[in-house]
Structure 1
Amino acid sequence: MRGNVNRWLLFGMLFLCVLNASDVYAWGKKKKNAKTETVAPEKSKYEVFLEAEGLRSVKGWFITVHRLGGKIYFEYPLKYMGWDLLIANTAAATSEPLLVNVGYKVKTPMHVRFVLEDSTVFMCERNTYVTYGEGEKHLEKAAENSFMDVKQQKMKVVTYNTDRSAVVFEVTEFFTEKNTRLSPIGGYFEGLPLVGELKKNLSSIGAIKAFDDNVSIEMKETYACALKYGETFIGLGDVTVNSVKSVLLLPEKKMKPRISDPRVGVFLTGKQEMSSERGAKYYSYANRWRLEPRNMEAWERGELVEPKKPIVYYLDNTFPEAWKKPLKEGVLRWNKAFEQIGFKNAVRVRDFPLDDPEFDPDNLKYSCIRYCPVGIENAMGPSWVDPATGEIVNASVIIYNDAVKLATQWMFVQTAQVDDSVRSGVLSGKRLEEALAYLVAHEIGHTLGLMHNMKASHAFPVDSLRSASFTRKYGTTPSIMDYARFNYVAQPGDEGVKLTPPEIGVYDEYVIKWLYSPVAGKKTVEEEAEVVREWVDEKAGDPMYRYGQQQILAVYDPGALSEDLGDDPIKAGDYGIKNLKYILPNVNTWVGNDEFSEYRMDLYFQIVNQYFGYIANVLHQVGGVDLQTVKEGVADERYRSLPREVQRNSMLWAIRELQGSGWLDEQELSKKRLSLKYSSLLRGVAGRMLFGRAPFVTFSSHLTEKPYTVKDYYDDIYTGIWVAVARGGKLTEGEKALQRLCVSMNLEKARGVMRQDGRALTGATESGMMTMSVDEVIESGLDGSGFVRRFRERLVEFEREYGSEFVTERLLLHNAIGVDPYGWQKRVNVEPIDESFAYIMDMFDKIRKLIEGRLRTANPSDRAHYQSILYQIKSLHRME
């Protein structure tokens, strides 16, 4: 019974509970006016983030960028995690354009991808250097394990968006801290590394933009800038820079790369291929734009078709109005080359759009031609690629204001003998348009992937440059990528001769075909390489299509020089010097409206510089070696020493020119500047080059059975320099100058050998530079960029501590700095076979005997000179 009672009690209690609940419900329904309490749903972390006070967001199809105070966040779609990106920095505004160029990316863009691991996002730098053959897929996993991406930045996840399709993480530190990879300060300036220390307390965030496949963040920063010289820093002061940091999403489908051929001069992306059969090999992809026919079937039928995505350049609206038309024309010249391979309107140029909110010239997405209003006589055309394939994704052309000044002066000193339209020293009309179009066409060539081809102009016989029919067809060179400027060979009376380079040379058209012509059929990368290699084979042996790399670290090949014309530098030099002797006396007459003679003095220095160029071109034949890249199995030689007589004639020709260079000292011009005579400066520079050729002669003689030997070289110095002593009579100023330099330079080398300290002639000496002070560099007109003048006080302070050698050996030898795309030819160490000391001593012995025999009968004004020579030579014996 008790159990039943308990069950009834329990049942009753449950009934009452249900009844009470029903009553409450009923009561709530009846009392409609009663106040109800509702609890708001808790906000998500993402919603709280979006409602933060002061948050500003910029939404794009790719990334949404949030800014909260001094912090920056990315809202990054998960579907793009692991995709390839390029992150770059472009200078948008600067307080010092000499050091920071507007529109330029001084640092190579970072090739990265974002990877999500748990609650952390890592930015990883891509490792795409190693590849494997298309038939060796089994190497894929091994390559992944051995060549991982490198983690560069760690960023904590803040939250996910509402549907968890994107993650929010902070990127402030990456964009605002001392990130040297995104610094606008860098590279080399005047031969020394330029460095900058960020002053974070003076930095701020500017405009933020987001588009369909990229975002950009503007930073306003101040850097303490300096040139680095060893462990010493030359302070250049503070520079404020507004820079745009872009993040660009690369296409998921990669461009099919094209394997390079060293016989074609293009920029490269280096690779290493792993093979279980052949072992590892190093190769490279050619850098090129992704240019694909819009209609492949029509292209295969031989029709002209437009590309799916043309190559578009945007022209800076700050250019002088008179420049814009020829600059556009120079860009579009390249369409002629693309039409020959079936592309219509492949290259296009547009003005900066003023009404397009998406356009940003500093964004990595846009390739622009920028104007830099600074007194630098230069232009440049760099490009940036997807390192996985070599696909060019962005390019810039920077044209400095004084590039036109340089072109004007070149036209004057090279063509004024036949073209009276350039004699005023100011370009206008047709001549200005020609100069600007050529200038930008050359730089556009670089952005299309073409390197300098310094061998091109050597293909033409010198006398052909005096032919109207030949020059109208070919201009001055087969390639505008050569540094072959204007026709200094043409003589007064050569009517109808073209004085400028071609619009596009035959070599340039050939390279565009090799780079960009599609290969029909579904071929592999290796199969395509075989096809395009045959195109090069077809032109092998034809000098019009020969490539000669720019010689940076050492100059061995006299056929691959800058600023030369034709295949015979002695004949070309004779023509050019004859023209300079005609132009020089007329400078004062032709160039007017120059109240203080400054511009006339600039032209005067250009004449001196042009004359030095003719002498240098000839001197490079002394110890010269003809170099070319040839395919295995081809009979052509890879290298060939220049014939003995060519080297000897070059040596004696240069000596005669230097001895007789007094014609440079035109009285009406030279008296306008307080400095050494330019003939003296020339002898100092060119003379050092003349007496520094021994290592090149040693090497060249080592390569042939009929050499021009080091003994021949020193015998010719003795014959050419000291014949005046044997002749008797008063020495000229030029003869004495070369004799003094001959003794001092060779004494320097001989003493180094006798001390056994290994010292020999320095690279600076062999390159033809001379020791000058900061002020002498300025006064002599050697400060082409204006850098030395701009920072004179700071450089003078440095000079007082370290000596004037710093200026000439470091600032003026900045062309010794270079990147190594094909492997620059470096200086060959000839020490194991160097016999120059023996022949120096032999030459000194002959000089001593000659002077001792002539001293008593010498002209009285020359005796002190002779005695000083004897004293220096005899000083060697005192060292023994």
Structure 2
Amino acid sequence: MSMPSRLAVLALLSSALTGCASLNLPRAAAAAPPNAAAASGPGAAASAPARPDPSAPKPFAEIIKGATQQAGFIPVWRKDEKVWLEIPAELLDKPFLLSANITQSIGERGLYGSQMGPSWLASFRKVNNQVQLTAMNTEYIASGTAMQAAVAQGFSDSLLGATAVASAPHPERKSLLVDAAFLLSDLPAYSTRLEAAFRLPYSLDRSNSSIEKTRVTDDLTTLNLRMHFATARLPAPPLVAPPVPAPAPPSTLPDARSFFVGYVYSFTKLAEQPMPARQADPRVGHFTDTVTDLSNDLQVNPKRFMVNRWRLEKADPAAALSEPKQPIVFWLDKNIPPVYRKSVTEGVLEWNKAFERIGFKNAVVVRQQPDDADWDTLDSRHASIRWFVGADVGFARGPSHSDPRTGEIIDADIAMSDVFGRGARRFIVENVGAPMRPFATPIALPWSKAAAQACDYADAAAAEMNFALDLLDARGAIAPDSPEAEAFAQSRIRDTIMHEVGHTLGLTHNFRASTVYTRAQLQDKDFTEKNGISGSVMDYNGYNVAAAGERQASFNNTTLGPYDYWAIEYAYKPIDAADEKRELERIAARSTEPLLAFANDPDAGGVPGNDGLDPMVNRFDLGDEPLAYYRKRLQLSRELWQRVQERKPQPGDDPTRQRRVLLSGFNPLNDAAVQVAKYVGGMYTSRDAPGAGAQAAFRPVEPARQREALQFMVGGLFSADSFRFQPQFLSGLAPDYREWTRPAVVSIPAMVLQLQVAGLDRLLSPGTASRLLDLPLYVPAAERLGLISLNEVYGTLQSAVWSELKSGAEIDRLRRNLQREHLKRLHALLVRVQSPLPADAQSLVRLNAVALRDDLRRALATRKWSVESRAHLQESLGLLDQALNASMLRN
């Protein structure tokens, strides 16, 4: 092209760009509206239509074209695999309850379906072109503009998820559309639980996760998600066993590298008017939501403890007995086997007795989910009871979700394992010689209140049931497969459901309630049928099995106890706001009544860092004298073993029957060893409010009772004579040979040692030592003469464990095992640079170790022993010499 031609083309282009003075526009001019130049002067030519801004969001209607809407609280739009949430403009920055529950899992090590997960008070927040899902910090509050600002600056919210706005706001509703795919994330922190269970790098695979189902109502939006977790490879087993054994990969999966977990997310609308909070009282046991109120710096304790309770209001406030405006409805999930539904229903409805006493008729209602229902009872608008199964399962839980601002319970889902059917007996049989209760319990959950709501009542109750059934069968009183045995199991299900429903109504455990009735009352059938066997269904109550010569009354709880009525009254009684403080104090002041005795999980101990100190607060005891109860349990176990040894196996018997019965007798004794040892150095506790006539918060257990418990330990549980079995019985304990992996020969010494070690650890624990050393500080000087001392405990224990050194009796294997465990603990305490014991206790350990060394030398020099006993004593002396002569700098 020639130069003139090029100039002509440029001229034509220039004339087409009407109003453009230059192709190189200044920055300010470039930012002006497209028609600005056209309108800037008289006679300017009309501008061309403006082109749409490519960065502007597309219209709402264009994005959801062809999609189907589910209208309601947060509308959902669906088109093929795409899902959008339409967030109403009025919901922005407004709180709602968000929960994440687990519908499906892998069925082992605490990872099961039908479990409640975490919940948050949440809100949607728009930030530029993003929508953030935030968890609101509700733990710190204040009144007054200044302190509210300080609290907001001091304590952050948390971001749960965020996504870009998918379209322009709806032209009329002004609502925001977002792609729901941002919820394909691990909100319940399940990856942490997977890591705790398997120590493998499982991670969420979003590309193979999906939103399967959505449901929307006026006050609820739920999404059911199928989440895929995977790891690229499983590590090879180590060539050399590590110091700490690593957990094995999942055993229930076709391929342990991949599995699916079901989530159900619920967005729940909260009432416009929050429910009035009711302040908790330490004398009555309720779950609480706790906030720190920084409004007033003169408060001694800025924390406020709000009772967890359902919003229950009378339809007719003036009536003495009225139905509620909205009852507490429990839905029986369609996965509950029909054979159990009647017992479950009865367990739920039993609580209506407590509500009737405070003026509510039919406060609790049970409904059955239809088999063809397309909604999930794990959504937040259906309080439910669900069955679940697993390869190692044996517990039930009764957790709930509440509004953290007021304590109002919004949702509750009881998870009940199949422990009363196949589960309990199968796993006990397969784990003979293993820990006494091999069932997996839920792994510690990474969200609040989970520890307080954890409950393994079903596991332990099933073990108790098996012991009772085995003993009654051995006595010829009941056959395992009889209608009576079925009724027996159904009654335990009813009892367990009562317990778990109590949790979902806001009640904590009460581990003192089992002591309110006397042993004589527990043998009176008329009394137990009317009153049950305990002051509360919220205790872990043992079976009320009569010893030989006793009268047999009710085996387990048949009804609510006095404490249960009282706790419901405190939480739910309608009270005028002006009278509430005074009336609640009047109700709580009844705590001194013997039938209302209360103590919960921290009082009972039994967890790392808290061994418990009150021998009247235990799991699975019964009657007003726990020590007498544990004596009876040893008596019942020995009766069971005697009877099963006398009964000859019959054709058609289950080949593992005798194994099961053997372990059934050991099962309750593991707890007995720890609970009896709790008397030694024990302190009675009281929750009385300060004031005239209040009991002391701590009172030492009577010296005579401490000595009695110590003698039962050394003369009963530490005695080899308590665990003698006929050789022909032990040689007949066959496994199930159809199983490829099956238990080995039963080791009685290992099983005996297991329960003895539990008691030994308690007696030699730092907590016991500290309390015994501090004992004189709690007793007037005139009463100190007869106190039990730490040295007396150490000396009595040592003399009993090593009694053969002075008696000259042959030392059998059971006794050698116990002596080795005692020596192992002495050795560790003597050579440890940083001893966990108080200094005075450490000195007494050395003093007694020196005496033991002298006894060993004397026994080896003056008596003739079998080769096994001599080798054992020589090795013991060598280890003790090494420990006493060890050179160290003790810190």
TM-score category (smaller protein)? 0.7 to 0.9
What is the rounded CA distance, in whole Å, between the counterparts of 1:181 and 1:246 in structure 2? Answer: 12
* 1:142–1:202 Cα change, 3 Å: closer
What is the rounded CA distance, in whole Å, between the counterparts of 1:256 and 1:603 in structure 2? Answer: 53
Q: Alpha-carbon deviations, 1:554-582, whole Å to 9, x = none?
A: 22222211111223233212222222222
2:304 is the alignment partner of 1:283: yes
* 1:100–1:681 Cα change, 3 Å: closer
Q: Which residue number corresponds to residue 326 of structure 2?
A: 309
What is the rounded CA distance, in whole Å, between the counterparts of 1:193 and 1:644 in structure 2? Answer: 48
2:416 is the alignment partner of 1:364: no
What is the rounded CA distance, in whole Å, between the counterparts of 1:592 and 1:186 in structure 2? Answer: 50
* Secondary structure at 1:180 match in 2: coil
Q: Which residue number corresponds to residue 203 of structure 2?
A: 197
What is the rounded CA distance, in whole Å, between the counterparts of 2:648 and 2:533 in structure 1? Answer: 26
Q: Which residue number corresponds to residue 665 of structure 2?
A: 607
* Secondary structure at 1:507 match in 2: helix
Q: Which residue number corresponds to residue 411 of structure 1?
A: 465
Deviates more, 1:366-375 or 1:465-474: 465-474
* Secondary structure at 1:510 match in 2: helix
> Quick check: 1:198–1:222 contact (8 Å CA) kept in 2?
yes
TM-aligned CA deviation for residue 84 of structure 1: 1.6
Q: Which residue number corresponds to residue 329 of structure 1?
A: 346
* Secondary structure at 2:187 match in 1: helix
* 1:663–1:496 Cα change, 3 Å: closer
TM-aligned CA deviation for residue 344 of structure 1: 0.8
TM-aligned CA deviation for residue 363 of structure 1: 1.7
Structure-to-structure mapping, 1:274-673, within 5 angstroms: 274-276=294-296, 278-279=298-299, 281-298=302-319, 303-354=320-371, 359-375=375-391, 376-404=393-421, 406=424, 407=461, 409-414=463-468, 420=476, 422-424=478-480, 428-488=485-545, 490-519=546-575, 521-523=576-578, 528-540=580-592, 542=594, 544-549=596-601, 550-551=604-605, 552-553=607-608, 554-555=610-611, 556-587=613-644, 589=647, 597-634=655-692, 635-657=694-716, 658-663=718-723, 665=725, 667=727, 669-671=729-731, 672=733
What is the rounded CA distance, in whole Å, between the counterparts of 1:845 and 1:144 in structure 2? Answer: 62
Q: Which residue number corresponds to residue 756 of structure 2?
A: 686
TM-aligned CA deviation for residue 463 of structure 1: 4.2
> Quick check: 1:365–1:393 contact (8 Å CA) kept in 2?
yes
What is the rounded CA distance, in whole Å, between the counterparts of 2:573 and 2:346 in structure 1? Answer: 23
Structure-to-structure mapping, 1:8-87, within 5 angstroms: 49-51=60-62, 55-68=66-79, 71-87=82-98
TM-aligned CA deviation for residue 436 of structure 1: 1.2
* Secondary structure at 1:855 match in 2: helix
TM-aligned CA deviation for residue 859 of structure 1: 3.6
Aligned partner of 1:540: which letter? T
What is the rounded CA distance, in whole Å, between the counterparts of 2:827 and 2:245 in structure 1? Answer: 32
TM-score by length of 2: 0.77
Deviates more, 1:591-600 or 1:289-298: 591-600
* 1:686–1:860 Cα change, 3 Å: closer
1:721 to 801, 805, 808: 801
* Secondary structure at 1:735 match in 2: helix
Aligned partner of 2:708: which letter? N
TM-aligned CA deviation for residue 291 of structure 1: 0.8
What is the rounded CA distance, in whole Å, between the counterparts of 2:762 and 2:407 in structure 1? Answer: 41
What is the rounded CA distance, in whole Å, between the counterparts of 2:651 and 2:489 in structure 1? Answer: 19
Deviates more, 1:866-875 or 1:273-282: 273-282
**Runs (5+) with no aligned partner, structure 2:** 1-48, 236-242, 251-255, 425-460, 735-743
> Quick check: 1:315–1:370 contact (8 Å CA) kept in 2?
yes
* 1:593–1:202 Cα change, 3 Å: farther
Q: Which residue number corresponds to residue 280 of structure 2?
A: 260
> Quick check: 1:269–1:286 contact (8 Å CA) kept in 2?
yes
What is the rounded CA distance, in whole Å, between the counterparts of 1:48 and 1:63 in structure 2? Answer: 19
Q: Which residue number corresponds to residue 14 of structure 2?
A: none
Structure-to-structure mapping, 1:207-246, within 5 angstroms: 207-224=213-230, 235-236=249-250, 237=256, 238-246=258-266
What is the rounded CA distance, in whole Å, between the counterparts of 2:689 and 2:552 in structure 1? Answer: 40
* Secondary structure at 1:718 match in 2: helix
What is the rounded CA distance, in whole Å, between the counterparts of 1:593 and 1:531 in structure 2? Answer: 66
Q: Which residue number corresponds to residue 771 of structure 2?
A: 700
Q: Which residue number corresponds to residue 814 of structure 1?
A: none
> Quick check: 2:591–2:688 contact (8 Å CA) kept in 1?
no
* 1:506–1:664 Cα change, 3 Å: farther
> Quick check: 1:612–1:682 contact (8 Å CA) kept in 2?
no
* 1:200–1:877 Cα change, 3 Å: same
* Secondary structure at 2:354 match in 1: helix
* 1:699–1:860 Cα change, 3 Å: closer
Q: Alpha-carbon deviations, 1:402-430, whole Å to 9, x = none?
A: 24454555234246656855442777442
Q: Alpha-carbon deviations, 1:580-609, whole Å to 9, x = none?
A: 222223347499787553354233212112
* Secondary structure at 1:575 match in 2: helix
Deviates more, 1:596-605 or 1:423-432: 423-432
Aligned length: 749
Aligned partner of 1:197: which letter? S
2:122 is the alignment partner of 1:112: yes
Q: Which residue number corresponds to residue 792 of structure 2?
A: 712
> Quick check: 1:661–1:734 contact (8 Å CA) kept in 2?
no
Q: Alpha-carbon deviations, 1:197-217, whole Å to 9, x = none?
A: 112232223122221111122
Deviates more, 1:726-735 or 1:262-271: 726-735
> Quick check: 1:459–1:566 contact (8 Å CA) kept in 2?
yes
Q: Which residue number corresponds to residue 853 of structure 2?
A: 848
What is the rounded CA distance, in whole Å, between the counterparts of 1:839 and 1:730 in structure 2? Answer: 28
TM-aligned CA deviation for residue 234 of structure 1: 6.2
Deviates more, 1:348-357 or 1:80-89: 348-357
TM-aligned CA deviation for residue 876 of structure 1: 2.7
* 1:736–1:476 Cα change, 3 Å: same
What is the rounded CA distance, in whole Å, between the counterparts of 1:864 and 1:100 in structure 2? Answer: 47
* Secondary structure at 2:175 match in 1: strand
* 1:337–1:217 Cα change, 3 Å: same
* Secondary structure at 2:104 match in 1: strand
* 1:592–1:614 Cα change, 3 Å: farther
What is the rounded CA distance, in whole Å, between the counterparts of 1:580 and 1:216 in structure 2? Answer: 51
What is the rounded CA distance, in whole Å, between the counterparts of 1:560 and 1:94 in structure 2? Answer: 35
> Quick check: 2:308–2:402 contact (8 Å CA) kept in 1?
yes
TM-aligned CA deviation for residue 483 of structure 1: 0.7
* Secondary structure at 1:613 match in 2: helix
What is the rounded CA distance, in whole Å, between the counterparts of 1:838 and 1:646 in structure 2? Answer: 26
Aligned partner of 1:871: which letter? G
What is the rounded CA distance, in whole Å, between the counterparts of 1:834 and 1:541 in structure 2? Answer: 41
TM-aligned CA deviation for residue 647 of structure 1: 1.8
Q: Alpha-carbon deviations, 1:45-102, whole Å to 9, x = none?
A: 9995435587433322222212356543221222222322122222333454655432
1:181 to 184, 187, 190: 187
* 1:68–1:233 Cα change, 3 Å: farther
> Quick check: 2:513–2:536 contact (8 Å CA) kept in 1?
yes
Aligned partner of 1:467: which letter? D
> Quick check: 1:380–1:443 contact (8 Å CA) kept in 2?
yes
